[in-house]
Structures are given as C-alpha cells and as structure tokens.
Amino acid sequence: MTKVRSTTVLAIVHNGEVAIGADGQATMGNYVAKSNVRKIRKLLDGKIVTGFAGSTADAFTLLERFEEKLNAYKGNMKRASIELAKDWRMDRYLRRLEAMMVVTDGEEALIISGTGDVLEPDNGVAAIGSGAMYAQSAALALKKHATHLTAEEMVREGLTIAADTCIYTNHNLVIENVKPSEN
C-alpha cells in the first residue's frame, strides 16, 4: 500500500449516520506549508463525498477520474470505486500517483488505494493518512463506549486525538455529514 503522510481523513458510519472529516495541514518535507487545506470534496451534487491523503496534484487527478467513473456508472459508488482501483493499478501513469481516498455515499464508506484495493472497513470506520491509526483507534473506542455520540461528534473527536498525537495532522478540521441519496 502507498505510504501516505501529511494528513488524516476519517469517516464513520454509526447509527444510520455517516460523517467524514479531515484536518487541514499540508507539509513539505519537515515543515508546515499551509494549515487550512480543504481535503474533503463533494461530487455528484453532494451525493458522494470524498477525502484524500497524499500528494495534492495526484489526489485531484484521482478525484477527476473517480467522478468520471461515477458518471459512467450512474452514481454507483462501489462500482465506480472498483473500476477506478482497476485503472489505478493497471495504468502506467496512474500507478505512479501517491494518494489514497475515502469515499462515502451516506450509507457506507470505502477506502480506495493505488494497489487495487477497495476496502469496506470493519466496524464502519475508514481512516487514511499519517494519523489514520490514531483516529481509527479513537473512533473504534468511541463507537464501542460512547454510542450516544453522533457520527459527526465521533469524527471530530477522532481527528482531534490524531491531531494531538500526529505531527502531520492539525486541528483545522473540515467535517461533512453525508445523507444517503434518494436515487
């Protein structure tokens, strides 16, 4: 799997709700280049929400390709994800891209990687980036012991814990609640 540093993206499916969020830090080497980057993007008029980690230019290339796949497969997120992962793995140009994505349609969350993986994570917690393990661990504990919290509150707390722990993650958070599509 591509080693992706310099951000944390977390999506949680909990009690019929889905939220996705990311920090805003961009680093270049060992210094902070920008602290308020928006790493969450809405596609198909907000029906699909994505978060990305890794090289920004690579991530935008993948976002464009993913949106093309979504349009080709009439908004079917899972099918579009699989087709993107196949292209990403087999295409000589795309294979060199260093980024990962979390995508959600308001019902489920998937992780898409450049190794051809499309993962539907256990327990409804999807995390990528340098602070992923911190955010994921916090989210799993919250889902188990703080079930009264909303998905958005869990994402906020998981990202806050990652930002407190991971030097490549900051506290400038963008969090989106994602509603299931009516289609």
In whole angstroms, give the CA distance from residue 52 to residue 21.
Answer: 10
CATH code assigned at 76? 3.60.20.10
Residue 2 resides in a domain: no
Average pLDDT over residues 85-102: 78
H helices present in 91-150, as ranges: 132-145
Taking a C-beta distance cutoff of 8 angstroms, is the pair 21, 173 a contact? yes
**pLDDT above 90 (res 78):** yes
**What are 15-69's pLDDT values in tens digits?**
999 999 999 998 887 888 889 999 999 999 999 999 998 878 788 888 899 999 9
CA atoms in the 13 A half-sphere facing the CB of 126 = 27
To the query of whether residue 2 is one of the catalytic residues in this protein, the response is no
**pLDDT above 60 (res 85):** yes
Please tell me the predicted confidence (pLDDT) of residue 114: 73
**What are 154-180's pLDDT values in tens digits?**
999 999 999 999 999 999 999 999 988
Q: How far apart are the first and last CA of the chain?
A: 33
Residue 110 resides in a domain: yes
Please tell me the predicted confidence (pLDDT) of residue 125: 98
Please tell me the predicted confidence (pLDDT) of residue 115: 77
Percent of the chain with pLDDT over 90: 68
**pLDDT above 80 (res 107):** yes
Burial class (CB in 10 A: 0-12, 13-18, 19+), 133: middle
Please tell me the predicted confidence (pLDDT) of residue 113: 84
Provide the sign of the torsion angle of the four alpha carbons 145, 150, 156, 162, taken in this order: positive
Q: How many domains does the chain have?
A: 1
Confidence of residue 152 (pLDDT cuts 50, 70, 90): very high
Residue 1 resides in a domain: no
Average pLDDT over residues 117-139: 95
Residue 183 resides in a domain: no
Secondary structure element (H or E) that encloses residue 103, with its range: strand 99-104
- Identify the bridge partners of residue 42 per DSSP, sorted by sequence position: 49
Please tell me the predicted confidence (pLDDT) of residue 1: 41
Average pLDDT over residues 87-99: 73
**Active-site residue, from 7, 27, 50, 169:** 7
Residue span of the structural domain in which 124 resides: 8-178
- Span of 90-94, 100-104, 109-113, 164-168 with lowest mean pLDDT: 90-94
**pLDDT above 90 (res 75):** yes
**pLDDT above 90 (res 126):** yes
In whole angstroms, give the CA distance from residue 56 to residue 76.
Answer: 25
- Any idea which residue has 């196949």 for tokens? 86
